[in-house]
Structure 1
Amino acid sequence: MKATYYPSIWISDTHLGYKDCKASYLLDFLNRTECDVLYLVGDIVDLWSMKRQFYWDTSHYKVLECIQEKAEAGTKVIYIPGNHDETFRQYAGHTLFNVEVHKSFIHTTSAGKKFLLLHGDDFDSATRYNKLISIAGDAAYDFLLFLNRWSNRVRRLYGGHYWSLASWLKNRVHKAREAIAAFEAAAIHEAKRQGVDGIICGHIHQPALKVCDGIVYCNDGDWIENCTALVENKEGKIELLHWSDIQHVLNVVALDEGLQGMPSQNASDEAA
């Protein structure tokens, strides 16, 4: 299947090295898309989790390999480290293995709109309930992902596709919603302060795309709970993709196309 082209793509919070990283979905996304610029908006490798308990699946290595191959093939890859991979912030202003490292970045769309890019942990001090949205490492969050993991195993047994129980529960906890709202307000304030049209961040594992007080707030979500990414289309507009849903549709289409090209056993039975 031909890869879909976007001028720019944003992903963050992949948490490679953490057992709940949806690396297979991420790898599928990277293989089915191509772009001029790929932005890695922090928490790509989860060094915090790996310090507690080392985990590294082959699929996690394949994700890094795929990104490296894109960089070597001419895709501009810009990496803005987050709090879980903050070790790499010391390399800001340098290029590592064809990947540019920055603390923050300004992206200008083909429509001329300027977006501030940063991971988002800068706003923790402005978020009253920041512990509720700290990512991967909190016992309550780990338990939430445990429930998420088992609910999806049951769904697969009955032919269902991936669905985030963790995200569904988080959106129904009042204090979590307050924390998310406070984070978004802090991000919008920073965008206004820097005089840009919008802001693109991650950190809180809460994908969003909306206009608030004249500022375009974009959160590319994560690959732990939601399997989401932001893309810029050919008209310069930002779109939010939920890849677990898209992959399910693509796989169904591919299966249908494959079945259409196969001889039907039932056809001969019916003819008899």
Structure 2
Amino acid sequence: MHSNQPRRRYRSVFLSDTHLGTRGCRGDFLVDFLRRTECERLYLVGDILDGWRLRKSWYWDHHHDEAIRLVLKAARHGTQVTYIPGNHDEVLRGWLGLEVAGIRLAREAVHPGADGRRFLVIHGDEFDCVIRYAKLLAHLGDRAYGMALVANRWFNAARRRLGYPYWSLSQWLKRRVKEAVKAVDRFEVALAQEAKRRGLDGVVCGHIHHAEMRVVHGVLYMNDGDWVESCTALVEHEDGRFELLDWARENRLSFADGAPGPVAAAA
């Protein structure tokens, strides 16, 4: 890792879908990111903890501990931390409105941009018809995603033996399934329309593990991705400019090193 490099300063940082509590979480990459960045506002945009998986089997390593410690440290040192629970950490929705160790729990938030624009910040599962109307199907999807990551692990073990670099089979499969592509598009349009309905300039969300920044129906749609496969974060600079950081690619972090095991979380 590169923790000895200078720290980066941002006005705001948005993270989601870390899925702490699963083997699929790249807690090592997340810790590297948290150690090397500081910000005035930190938004945890849902599925930070994976209650679904932890209820089935317990997994927690020192990287997960360190990630939590670094968030708490940031809150103690003046960073305004807002935690917006998602569907995997929905148990925390029972505590909405409370502040715990300097971290404010909220159903959603409106982020005031440095340039005067305002953005809805929401996990997004409310706009996913599978999560909203068929939770059983969502859990089955969670299992299928875990199986895809198992296949991904063995696939890349074979590639390493042949001298090839890491390549995400599971992400490739998701991009090639036409219905999945259509679902992502519907999700993005629904979130953008909700922001527009509220008179806001854009929306920041997570949930679907697909980092994206584009204008949809006249508003700026931004998804900060995940820390299972892509390891991306959305950041706001002091001038109000937003940027998606691909932390693993930018820092040449290898997914093959300490590759995640078979248990991981779905959107």
Give TM-score scaled by structure 2 length: 0.86
- In the alignment, the residues of structure 2 paired with residue 158 and residue 30 of structure 1 have an alpha-carbon distance, to the nearest angstrom, of 34
Correspondences of 1:192-271 after superposition (within 5 Å): 192-248=196-252
Are 2:16 and 1:12 equivalent residues in the alignment? yes
Structure 1, residues 3-43: CA drift from partner, whole Å, max 9, x if none? 01110000000000011001111111111111111110000
1:58 aligns with 2:62: yes
Aligned residue for 1:187, secondary structure, equals: helix
**Cα RMSD after superposing both structures:** 2.6
- Shift of residue 130, structure 1, vs aligned partner: 8.1
CA distance in 1, matches of 2:68, 2:132: 35
2: distance between equivalents of 1:233 and 1:69? Answer: 22
Residues 18, 25 of structure 2: 8 Å contact kept:
yes
Aligned AA (1:68):
L
Structure 2 residue matching 1:171: 3-state secondary structure: helix
Partner of 1:255: none
**Aligned residues of 1:135 and 1:204 also touching (Cα < 8 A):** no
Alignment CA distance shift 1:161-1:29 (3 Å): farther
The runs of 5 or more residues in structure 2 that have no matched partner are 254-267
Cα distance in 2 between the residues matched to 1:61 and 1:21 = 12
TM-score normalised by structure 1 residue count: 0.84
Cα deviation, residue 212, structure 1: 1.3
Shift of 1:148: 2.6
Structure 2 SS opposite 1:93? coil
The 1:204–1:68 alpha-carbon spacing in structure 2 relative to 1, beyond 3 Å, is same
Percentage of pairs with the same residue: 46
* Number of residue pairs aligned between Structure 1 and Structure 2: 250
Q: Which of 48, 52, 71 is the aligned partner of 1:67?
A: 71
Residue 128 and residue 54 in structure 1: after superposition, are their counterparts in 2 closer, same or farther (change >3 A)?
closer
Query: How many Å separate the matches in 2 of 1:213 and 1:44?
Result: 29
Work out which of the residue numbers 71, 92, 95 in structure 2 matches 1:88.
92
Looking at CA atoms only, which structure, 1 or 2, has the larger radius of gyration?
1
Per-residue Cα deviation, 1:213-272 (whole angstroms, up to 9, x for no partner):
2110000010112101100012201111111101218xxxxxxxxxxxxxxxxxxxxxxx
CA distance in 2, matches of 1:235, 1:194: 24
Query: Matched residues in 1 for 2:20 and 2:240: separation?
Result: 30
For 1:148, which of 129, 134, 152 is the aligned residue? 152
Deviation at 1:157, TM superposition (A): 6.1
Higher RCO, 1 vs 2 (CA within 8 Å, ≥6 residues apart): 2
Bigger share in helix:
1
Aligned residue runs from structure 1 range 112-191, under 5 A: 112-125=116-129, 134=138, 138-153=142-157, 163-191=167-195
Q: CA deviation at 1:151?
A: 3.9
Distance 1:71 1:57, change over 3 A: same
Displacement, 1:199? 0.3
State the alpha-carbon separation in 2 of the partners of residues 156 and 58 from structure 1. 26
The aligned residue for residue 256 of structure 1 is none
